[in-house]
Amino acid sequence: MRSLKPGLIEVSAYAPATVANLAVGFDILGMAIDGAGDTVTLTRSQESGIRILEVKPATGLTLDASSNTATAGLLEMISDLGIESGFEVVIEKGIPLSSGMGGSAASAVAGIVALNAFLESPVTTKELIHYALIGESVASGSRHGDNVVPALLGGLQLTRSVDPVEVLEIPLPEAVHCVVVHPSHRVDTKMARSILRKEMFLKEHVRAAADLATLIHACHRSDLKLIGKCLRDNLIEPQRMELIPGFMSVKKAAMEAGALGCSISGSGPSVFAWFEDMASAEKAKNGMIEAFKAAGLSAQGGISKGRCGGARVTRRL
């Protein structure tokens, strides 16, 4: 049984948006990005269990704690640790729903980080990841760490295994600028997973493995030229690009502006691209937004530079 810190009534925690898969690392590679994130606030209650009071802004997300990504992992964590106190929960969604920017993972991570801050003896990072993965699986239908791990730890992260949890941080070259453009369109994560082929040709696997290994090597060496040779998705992108109106035009705009690589962020519809300088990134962002506009979709874009931090406690009362 874990004890709660006496006198601590309320904790808020924030977790950032993320770009998952990163072209070459389906379900295992992801990075934290600046500019958007979710906040979850837990307030101690006299009643046992978890009760969601509000989701802000109103999004239609369920208030059932066992079915909400922000609280599903909390329920299991409370049960496993023998925590007797209950909590009221407020969820503030700063990441658009079904955007491919890790919104479900961010909510799951923020809730777990907030609860951990209440504990006199906090759980380990691996345990935090384990419980956050439970919440993430509510949205995606499976446990994979490509969003959860960077949302928790920040930076560029490789999830080698979720059972047992084993993660590795990959050094992100300081020169890399990540553009993420989000159109006014939604792609359901479970649906985007359901359309994927269950099998692949051996030559496809070999090519994808080579690109992933090369990217990791290039990041350790800060070799941007080599990154430009391998930051590509010949496996998942061709199966999902039809879900995103104007995708090929958006990608073309990024590559013509000097992108090292461009692909789908998570399951989409957001699109990401890496650049080696801010000027190219700004040019590409505007061009990608215009390409979406030509396809009939309004869009918003942002640029992240360098290593972005992960989840953090923002308030204690």
In tens, the pLDDT along 101-159 reads 999 999 999 999 999 999 999 999 999 999 999 998 887 777 889 999 999 999 999 99
Residue 141 to residue 237: CA distance in whole angstroms: 20
Provide the token pair at 307: 């290593």
Instruction: Locate CATH 3.30.70.890 in the chain.
Output: 177-305
Establish whether the linkage from the previous residue to 150 is cis, with ω within 30° of 0. no
The predicted structure's pLDDT at residue 76 = 95
The predicted structure's pLDDT at residue 227 = 98
Q: Which amino acid is at 46?
A: Q
Using CA atoms, how far residue 55 sits from 40, 76, 137, in Å, is 9, 21, 19
Class of domain 10-171+308-316: alpha beta
Instruction: Locate CATH 3.30.230.10 in the chain.
Output: 10-171+308-316
pLDDT over 90 percentage in the chain: 90
pLDDT digits (tens, 9 = 90+) for 271-291: 999 999 999 999 999 999 999
The predicted structure's pLDDT at residue 16 = 97
CATH number for 177-305 (one of 3.40.50.2300, 3.30.2130.10, 3.30.70.890, 3.40.50.150): it is 3.30.70.890
pLDDT digits (tens, 9 = 90+) for 158-203: 999 999 999 999 999 999 999 999 999 999 888 999 999 999 899 9
Q: How confident is the model at residue 83 (pLDDT cuts 50, 70, 90)?
A: very high
The predicted structure's pLDDT at residue 58 = 73
